[in-house]
Structure 1
Amino acid sequence: MDFTGVRVLVVGDVMLDHYIAGQVRRISPEAPVPVACVRKRWTAPGGAANVARNLARLGLQVALTGLAGRDEAGESLRRELAAEGIDDGLVYSAARSTTRKTRIIAQGQQLLRLDEEVIAPPRPEESAALRGKILEFLPACGAVVLSDYGKGVLLDDAENGGLCAPVITAARERGIPVLVDPKGGQWRRYAGAQCVTPNSVEFALACGLESGDAPDQRERETLAGRLRESYGLERILLTRGAKGMALFAGGEPPCYIRAAVREVADVSGAGDTVIATLAACVAKGLDWKESARVANTAAGVAVGKMGTAPVSLAELNQALRENADNPKLYGGSALLEKLEEWRCRNESIVFTNGCFDLLHPGHISLIRQCVALGDRLVVGLNSDASVRRLKGPGRPVQNEQSRALLLAALQGVDAVILFDEDTPLELIRQVRPDVLVKGSDYTVETVVGADLVREYGGRVHLAHLVDGCSTTNLVRRMGAEKA
C-alpha cells in the first residue's frame, strides 16, 4: 500500500491527550486509593487530531481544522501537529480552552481519566473562520473526514446552523467523498455523507433502540437500511469490536468482515484509525469494500497498542501481507513497540530461537520450559535463506511463513520474529530479554548473546532436551523411507 500524493482534510473536535504512567505498589493511608509512582509523562494529538496523525503516519498529506484554546494545551497541540507534518488549519479561540484528556496508567491499565473541556458550538466569528479554512483546503483533497466527538465544532447552532451541512454540500459539488465518525444518535447533521462509521452503541442510539437491545443479523440490516434512507447516506460501516465490521450500501448485499486482532491492549483511538485508513484508501481510489477490509486490518494493529497510538504505513503493510493468518508474527518496529507495552506492565521477557523446521516433541518441551521462565515468550525464527546457509540447500522442509504459523499456534508463544542473519545476536540486542534460553547441548559460554544478556542483568537458561528428537533425523528417516 502506498499513499504518496494522496491528500485528506480532517474537520472536527481536536484534543490533546496527556498520559501519566507509573507503578502502583501500595494503597494510600489517607484514603482507599492506589498510589501511583510516576515514571513517565507524554502528550499526543487526540480526537480529530489523532485521525490526522493516523493519516500522516500512513504517508498522506493531511490538513486539519478545528477549534483550540489560546492556552498551554493549544500550544502543545500545535507543536505536535507540526512534528507530524500536518497542515495546521486550527482556529484559536479566546472563549474556550483546548479539550484535554489526562489518562493515569499503571501496570498497563487506566486508573483514572481527567477531562478538561468546553462543550458548545463555535461562535459566529469562529464558525466563519472555520469555513474559510475548510474552503481553502478542500479543492486539493481526495476525501474529507468529519470527526465528531460531541465537543461542539460539528454541533448545530439554532442561529448559525452548523459546519456539517456546508462541508458535505461543498465536497459533493466537487465530487469529494465525505466520511463521518459520528457521536450520539442525532444524525440529521450528517445527511448526504458518503459513509458514516458508527460503533455498535452509536448505531443503536441512532436507531432509537433501548439500552441492552441486541438486534440479530436480519434486524441489523433492516435498521441500517432505514438509517441510510432517512439521512440520505450512501453507506454505513458498522464497527463491531471483536466481531469485526459490517458494510451496508444501497443495492448491494451487506459485506461482513471478520476482526483481525493480535492482542487487545487498549481500544482507545481504534475508531480514529478505522476512519483514517478508510478515508486514505477511498481517497487513493480503492473501492469501498476493499477500503473497509484494509481499515479492519489497521484496527487489528491499533488495538494491540497502548493508548491512542497511530498505525504506521510499515505496520499496515506488514499486517496486510500477513493477511491476519498469523497475528503473532511481528516485524522489528512493531515488536519493539509491543515489548515496551509489556514492560510497562512489569512483564518479564523470555527469548529463544531456532529453525523449527519440523515441529517435534523436543520443540514442544523447549517452548513449555520457556513459558515457565517468564511472562512473555518471543521466538526468533531463522528465515529460509538463513536456514539454507546453516543446514544446506535441501532445507528448510517448510517455508518461513509455515514455520512461523505453526510456532505461533503453540500455547505460550506471544511473538514470532524472523531474522536473516546466521545468528540471533542483533535480534537479542534489540529484544533485550530478561531470560535467554537455549538447549542443554550448549554451554552458557557458547550461547550466542549470553555475555550481552548477563551484562545488563539478564540470565541464561539451558533447557533440558528430549532424547532422540531431531529435525535432521526426521528428514533422514523420511528420505530413507522414500528410497
Structure 2
Amino acid sequence: MQRPDELAALVPKLQTAQVTCVGDVMLDRFVYGDVSRISPEAPVPVVLVKQELVVLGGLGNVARNLSTLGANASVISVVGQDEGGREIRHLLNELPNCAPDIIEIPQHTSTIKTRCIASSQQIVRIDREAQLCLSEKAVDDLVARTIDKPETPVLVLSDYGKGVLSGQNAQQIIVAARQAGQFVIVDPKGTDYSRYRGANLIKPNRLELCQATGRTVNSNVEIIAACRELIEKFDLGAVIATLSERGMMVVTKNGPAIHLPSEAREVFDVSGAGDTVIATLAAAIAVGIPLADAAYMANRAAAVVVAKVGTATISAAELVRALRVEDVSQAEEKIVTATNALERVRSWQRMGERVGFTNGCFDLLHPGHVTLLAQSAAKVDRLIVGLNSDDSVKRLKGPTRPIQNEMSRSIVLAALSSVDLVVIFNEDTPLEIIQQLRPDVLIKGADYTVSTVVGAEFVQSYGGEVALIDLVPQQSTTRLVKQIHAA
C-alpha cells in the first residue's frame, strides 16, 4: 500500500475519473429545530423548526460525492412524474460534472425520506415511497443506457431496495457491463446476492454480511470467512465489509485480507457514509489506483463525513487534508517500543509484506541519511529504523554526542515517508532487537561487508536477506560536527 502523503498527491487525478451510476435515487429532507417542551396532545416532543434542507440521497448521494471529489458521473435511475421526481432531476442537473439520464414512470411515487433533527439527534424519520416494478421494456432501456457509456471504466450499482435493481435487473446489468469491460461495484441490499453474481466488488456492512451468509460475523476471522464465502459462491472479485467503528475489511479473491481500522475521531451522523465510501472507491479505481489504496482513501473519506450532520459529502480538498492529517498522526505513532514493533511486524508479515530493518544514530539528519533510507524503503514493503538511545550514542561517539536527544531524532525520522517504524534501543549494537523482530531484510550502508554487519548471520539463518546500500560521498554526521566546530 502507498503511504498517506503519496495517496494525497493522487487526489487531483480523481478529476479525470469517469463513473456510471445506476440504482435507486431519492430525496433526503432534513428538518432542523429545537425541542423545549412536550406536546399537550400526546407524549411527543414539539419541534420548533429553524431550518429545512433538501439534498439528493441514495444513488443521488453517490453522485454528489463524486461531484464534490471532482469526478465525472453519469447517473441512470427512475423517478415518478411527481414533485419529488422533478426536484430530484433539478438537483441532479445542478451538480457539476454530472450527466443525469433519468427515466420517468407515470403513477410512480418518488422516494422522499424526511428526518427531523434537534440538538444533533434524529427524533423521527418519515418515508414517502412506493415499490417500483419495471416492465421488461423499461429494464431493457435501463441496460441499454448503462452500457452506452464506453468512456466510463467503472459502474456503480447502488441498491436501496426500491425496485430499480430488483429481481434480475441487477444481474442483467452486471452481465452486460462486464461484457463491455466495465469494473462493477455494488452497494447491496437484501439477502439474495445471486443478483450480484460476477461483480468485481461488493460493499456490504456488517449486518448485511451476516444476513447474506447466515454467519456470525463478530471477530475478524469470522468476517473474513463470510466475505470469502460470498466471493466463492457468487464469483466476486472482492468484498469490502464496512464495520462501523471497526473500520473496513478488504477481502480479495486471491490476496490476503486487509483490515483498515476506523479513523473517525467524532461521529455525529452516519447517514450516507456508505455512499461516500462507494463514490471514493469508484473514482479511485477509475483512475487506476489499486483496490487496497482506494479502500484506504475511502476509509479516510468516511471518517470525515460521519463527523458532519446529515447526508454529507467530502470534497477533494477535505480528502487531501484527511490523508495528510493521517500522515501526521501516523508519524507520531511510528515511534514504538520493541514489543509494539513486534506486533506490527508479525501483522505485516502475515499479509505477505517484506519487512526491512536498518539502524544508526541519525544525530544530524543529512542527505546521506535520507538517500540511505529511501533506497532501503525501495527494497521492502515496510522499513523499521533501529535508533541508538542517548546513552548508547555517548558510549559509541563520546561525551559530546548526541547533539539531538533521542526523542528529537525519533520525531525527525518518523516524519520521513520512507520510514514505517522507529524503535529506540539502549545496547551498543542492534543485535537484540534484530533477534526479536526477525526482519526479512537487514540493510546497512556499503561501507560494511556482509560479514561485518551486526545480525547478518542470524538473519541469514532463517532465510532472510542482507542488503548493502551505496552511500552518498562526503556525507557524515561526524564531518558536519567538525565543520560546525571549525566555523
- TM-score range relative to shorter protein: 0.5 to 0.7
Q: Is structure 2 residue 302 aligned with structure 1 residue 296?
A: no
Quote the residue 1:52 is aligned against: 63
Instruction: Map 1:444-455 to 2 at 5 A.
Output: none
Q: Please, which of 232, 253, 256 is the counterpart of residue 253 of structure 1? A: 256
- SS class of match (1:130): helix
* Distance change in 2, residues 1:129/1:175 (3 Å): closer
- Structure 2 CA distance for aligned equivalents of residues 177 and 199 of structure 1: 20
* Distance change in 2, residues 1:122/1:285 (3 Å): same
Q: Give the CA deviation at 1:324.
A: 6.3
Instruction: Map 1:149-160 to 2 at 5 A.
Output: 149-156=160-167
8 Å CA contact 1:24–1:36 kept in 2: the answer is yes
Q: Give the CA deviation at 1:221.
A: 2.1
* Distance change in 2, residues 1:120/1:75 (3 Å): closer
Quote the residue 1:107 is aligned against: 119
- Structure 2 CA distance for aligned equivalents of residues 239 and 145 of structure 1: 17
- SS class of match (1:18): strand
Quote the residue 2:110 is aligned against: 98
Q: Is structure 2 residue 291 aligned with structure 1 residue 279?
A: no
- Structure 1 CA distance for aligned equivalents of residues 319 and 124 of structure 2: 31
Q: Give the CA deviation at 1:298.
A: 0.3
Q: Give the CA deviation at 1:128.
A: 2.8
Quote the residue 2:181 is aligned against: 175
Q: Give the CA deviation at 1:94.
A: 0.5
- Structure 2 CA distance for aligned equivalents of residues 230 and 274 of structure 1: 24
Q: Give the CA deviation at 1:242.
A: 0.7
Structure 2 segments unaligned to the other structure (5+ residues)? 1-10, 331-407, 416-487
8 Å CA contact 2:240–2:250 kept in 1: the answer is yes
- Structure 1 CA distance for aligned equivalents of residues 327 and 211 of structure 2: 31
Q: Please, which of 317, 321, 327 is the counterpart of residue 318 of structure 1? A: 321
Quote the residue 2:244 is aligned against: 241
Bigger radius of gyration, 1 or 2? 2
Tell me which amino acid in the other structure corresponds to 2:304.
V
Q: Is structure 2 residue 189 aligned with structure 1 residue 186?
A: no
Tell me which amino acid in the other structure corresponds to 1:206.
A
Q: Is structure 2 residue 79 aligned with structure 1 residue 79?
A: no
Quote the residue 2:212 is aligned against: 206
Q: Give the CA deviation at 1:326.
A: 4.8
- Structure 2 CA distance for aligned equivalents of residues 216 and 74 of structure 1: 43
Q: Please, which of 7, 13, 19 is the counterpart of residue 30 of structure 2? A: 19
Quote the residue 1:134 is aligned against: 146
Tell me which amino acid in the other structure corresponds to 1:181.
D
8 Å CA contact 1:52–1:64 kept in 2: the answer is yes
Quote the residue 2:223 is aligned against: 220
- Structure 2 CA distance for aligned equivalents of residues 130 and 217 of structure 1: 38
8 Å CA contact 2:281–2:298 kept in 1: the answer is yes
Quote the residue 1:120 is aligned against: 132
- SS class of match (1:89): strand
8 Å CA contact 1:7–1:62 kept in 2: the answer is yes
Q: Percent identity?
A: 39
Instruction: Map 1:346-365 to 2 at 5 A.
Output: none
- Structure 2 CA distance for aligned equivalents of residues 81 and 307 of structure 1: 18
Q: Give the CA deviation at 1:227.
A: 1.1
Could you say what the CA RMSD is over the residues aligned between the two structures, in angstroms? Answer: 2.0
Quote the residue 1:392 is aligned against: none
8 Å CA contact 1:185–1:208 kept in 2: the answer is no
Quote the residue 2:100 is aligned against: 88
Tell me which amino acid in the other structure corresponds to 1:314.
A
- Structure 1 CA distance for aligned equivalents of residues 146 and 182 of structure 2: 13
Q: Give the CA deviation at 1:90.
A: 1.1
Q: Give the CA deviation at 1:55.
A: 0.6
- Structure 1 CA distance for aligned equivalents of residues 70 and 238 of structure 2: 26
- Structure 2 CA distance for aligned equivalents of residues 59 and 265 of structure 1: 25
- SS class of match (2:224): helix
Quote the residue 1:309 is aligned against: 312
8 Å CA contact 2:24–2:164 kept in 1: the answer is yes
Q: Give the CA deviation at 1:185.
A: 1.2
- SS class of match (2:281): helix
Quote the residue 2:158 is aligned against: 147
- Structure 2 CA distance for aligned equivalents of residues 117 and 185 of structure 1: 21
- Structure 1 CA distance for aligned equivalents of residues 46 and 134 of structure 2: 40
- SS class of match (1:220): helix
Q: Give the CA deviation at 1:120.
A: 3.1
Q: Give the CA deviation at 1:135.
A: 2.6
* Distance change in 2, residues 1:230/1:46 (3 Å): same
- SS class of match (2:311): coil
- SS class of match (2:122): strand
8 Å CA contact 1:260–1:324 kept in 2: the answer is no
- SS class of match (1:66): strand
Which portions of structure 1, spanning 4 or more consecutive aligned residues, are displaced by more than 3 angstroms?
A: 324-327
* Distance change in 2, residues 1:171/1:124 (3 Å): closer
* Distance change in 2, residues 1:324/1:198 (3 Å): farther
Q: Give the CA deviation at 1:265.
A: 0.6
Q: Give the CA deviation at 1:77.
A: 1.0
Q: Please, which of 246, 250, 267 is the counterpart of residue 264 of structure 1? A: 267
8 Å CA contact 2:143–2:176 kept in 1: the answer is no
Q: Give the CA deviation at 1:253.
A: 1.1
Q: Give the CA deviation at 1:241.
A: 0.7
- Structure 2 CA distance for aligned equivalents of residues 167 and 251 of structure 1: 25
8 Å CA contact 1:247–1:289 kept in 2: the answer is yes
- SS class of match (2:62): helix
Q: TM-score, normalised by structure 1?
A: 0.64
Tell me which amino acid in the other structure corresponds to 1:225.
R
- Post-superposition Cα deviations, 1:361-407, rounded to whole Å, max 9, x if no partner, equal xxxxxxxxxxxxxxxxxxxxxxxxxxxxxxxxxxxxx9xx99xx9xx
- SS class of match (1:76): helix
Aligned residues: 323
Tell me which amino acid in the other structure corresponds to 1:189.
R
Quote the residue 2:172 is aligned against: 166
- Structure 2 CA distance for aligned equivalents of residues 194 and 132 of structure 1: 20
